[in-house]
Amino acid sequence: EAGVTQFPSHSVIEKGQTVTLRCDPISGHDNLYWYRRVMGKEIKFLLHFVKESKQDESGMPNNRFLAERTGGTYSTLKVQPAELEDSGVYFCASSQDGWRGEQYFGPGTRLTVT
């Protein structure tokens, strides 16, 4: 069974540009989470999808971040326009049983904004 995959593994963009990160959860997992670790800080929760619906997006830092999960399968996280402080590693995770279930993490996307 394939694990959680993320694309790209690394993205380098200039300030002001747009970047779209993709996460493919484990097949059959309705719950999908986005997290990020910015330099020197702890990993922080961004949002939680249940199927295609946003269950909790309280961790999204501002309106430059847009997450979608059309069809309840893969999810995208778009940053537009990117700022220097958005640099970090963006992790995606999926689970079968919501918050009660074990979360399976993807390898992360390292975003560098210059």
Site residues for other proteins per CB under 8 A = 33, 35, 41-45, 48, 56, 58-59, 89, 91, 93, 98-100, 102-108, 110
For residue 103, the minimal CB distance to other proteins (Å) is 6
In the complex with other proteins, which residue's Cβ is closer, 74 or 105? 105
For residue 45, the minimal CB distance to other proteins (Å) is 5
For residue 95, the minimal CB distance to other proteins (Å) is 10
- Three-state helix/strand/coil letters over the chain: CCCCEEECCEEEECCCCCEEEEEECCCCCCEEEEEEEECCCCCEEEEEEECCEEEECCCCCCCCEEEECHHHCCEEEEECCCCHHHCEEEEEEEECCHHHCCCEECCCEEEEEC
- Non-local CB neighbours of 79 within 8 Å, separated by 6+ positions: 18, 19, 20, 21, 64, 65, 86, 111
In the complex with other proteins, which residue's Cβ is closer, 36 or 69? 36
In the complex with other proteins, which residue's Cβ is closer, 26 or 81? 26
In the complex with other proteins, which residue's Cβ is closer, 7 or 104? 104
For residue 61, the minimal CB distance to other proteins (Å) is 14
